[in-house]
Amino acid sequence: MMIVSPAELSSSEAELRSFISVAIPTFRRPFGLQRAIESVLQQDFSDWEMVISDDEGLVGESCRLLSEYVSTEPRIRVVENRRGRGQVENTNNAMLACRGPWIKLLHDDDWLAPGALTSFARLALAYPAAAVITSTSHLVQDKGIKYRQGGEIYVYSGQQCLTDLYLVGKTRSLGIVPSTLLVNSNVVKAGCLMRNYKSISWGVDQLFFIDLACHGDMVAIDDGLIFYDMTNHPCITADGSFTHIDQETVDLKRLTWSLLEDKGELPDPETVVRALRVARLRGRIGRQPLGATIRDAIQILRPSVLMALNKIIRARARAPGAI
């Protein structure tokens, strides 16, 4: 199998542009990777290319698997990751190698629902200037699959999206993750890539959503177009603490706050984080020191926190008018 770097693509190759580029960053998940690839091959939409960035390199089961696919399917390419190891740069490497006007991110443990690319393509044709298009997802859990089916379409301006992300609103209830995204390649060309920022390690996905919102509108369809595998995801506190998670949340909220043009009656970042600690209290009982649990619980006595909680609840129940 030949692995190429994005810089080695010829101009003639670059002219052969599929409408959707499926970008798959992968690392040591051959079973999941095969499932993701097959979900693309089985789509009823054929104007696609697939770009796979393998962080493991020319070793392991994934390399052998990819060699078989590359030898039989010319729309599949594997690119060498020279940007640096890890999720952030592996994802960036895959996106930067894409040739199409739209980039469909797909993690190697998730897979497309039947007809997903057709639905995404229709939305892309209807909203060609959108920075990002997203769906919701079917949640694959240990106890089974939670299906999400709908059809309502919402259009957020960049500022509306930032406000919703700030309040953990409708974008949270839709369950947006990287694999639900269809990104306008012009946004990537403009420099919008995944990145690290301050304390943020777990929240790089949220940081990417914030950066995307700064580049234009977001279109969301309330329909499960991907299967999001939650069975193999580590607990968010496995490698960190709730204190660290709260610090990441503070950094994300402060960043989003700085980008909001109309703060209006929005609570400040620290108040939002206090409200979120109250909202997350049930999942933290018994998993953090008793003193921390008591500290979080009494935050509800603050009028500002109670008001922030009400705003968060209302934000999850509403969205821009359905199309």
User: Going by DSSP bridges, is the β-strand pair 218-229/132-141 parallel, antiparallel, or unpaired?
Assistant: parallel
At 247 the three-state DSSP class reads helix
Tell me: do 111 and 251 sit in the same domain: no
Is the distance from CB of 51 to CB of 98 less than 8 angstroms?
A: yes
Say how far apart CA 305 and CA 113 lie, in whole Å.
Answer: 40
pLDDT in tens, 252-307: 999 999 999 999 889 999 999 999 989 888 888 888 888 888 888 898 889 899 89
d(CA 8, CA 6): 5
Q: Is residue 234 part of a domain?
A: no
Residues 169 and 281 in one domain: no
Residue 197, pLDDT > 50, answer: yes
For residue 52, being part of any structural domain is answered with yes
Regarding whether 204 and 272 lie in a shared domain, the answer is: no
Q: Is pLDDT at 238 greater than 60 in this prediction?
A: no
Query: Domain for residue 237, yes or no?
Result: no
Q: Is residue 323 part of a domain?
A: no
Phi, psi (deg, nearest 5) at residue 228: -100, 110
Question: Is 120 inside a domain boundary?
Answer: yes
What pLDDT digit, counting tens, does each position of 28-79 carry? 898 999 999 999 999 999 999 999 998 877 677 888 899 999 999 999 999 9
Q: E strand or H helix at 308, and its extent?
A: helix 303-317
Answer yes or no: do 159 and 293 share one domain.
no
Beta-bridge mates of residue 146: 139
Q: Are residues 284 and 174 in the same domain?
A: no
Task: Evaluate whether residue 1 is within a structural domain.
Answer: no
Under DSSP, the state recorded for 4 is: B
Provide the pLDDT for residue 56: 79
Is 126 in the same domain as 193? Answer: yes
Q: Which domain, by its residues, includes 254?
A: 242-317
The last residue of a domain, from among 206, 229, 252: 229
109 has a pLDDT exceeding 50:
yes
Q: Is 301 a member of any domain?
A: yes
State which of 229, 261, 287 marks the end of a domain. 229
In terms of domains, do 224 and 263 share one?
no
Of 229, 250, 278, the last residue of a domain is: 229
Query: DSSP labels for 162-179?
Result: HHHHHTT-HHHHHT--GG
Q: Are residues 278 and 211 in the same domain?
A: no
Kindly state whether residues 12 and 132 are assigned to the same domain.
Answer: yes
Query: In the chain, what is the straight-line distance between the N-terminal and C-terminal CA atoms, in Å?
Result: 46
* pLDDT at 233 (0 to 100): 64
The pLDDT, as a whole number, for residue 281 is 86
Which CATH number covers residue 58?
3.90.550.10
Average pLDDT over residues 98-102: 98
Asked if 214 and 257 sit in the same domain, the reply is: no
**39 in any annotated domain:** yes
Q: How many domains does the chain have?
A: 2
Q: Positive or negative, the Cα torsion across 55, 56, 62, 68?
A: positive
Q: Decide: helix, strand or coil at residue 23.
A: strand
* Residue 307 and residue 259 share a domain: yes
Max Cα-Cα span within the chain: 65
Stated pTM of the model: 0.89
Residues 169 and 78 in one domain: yes
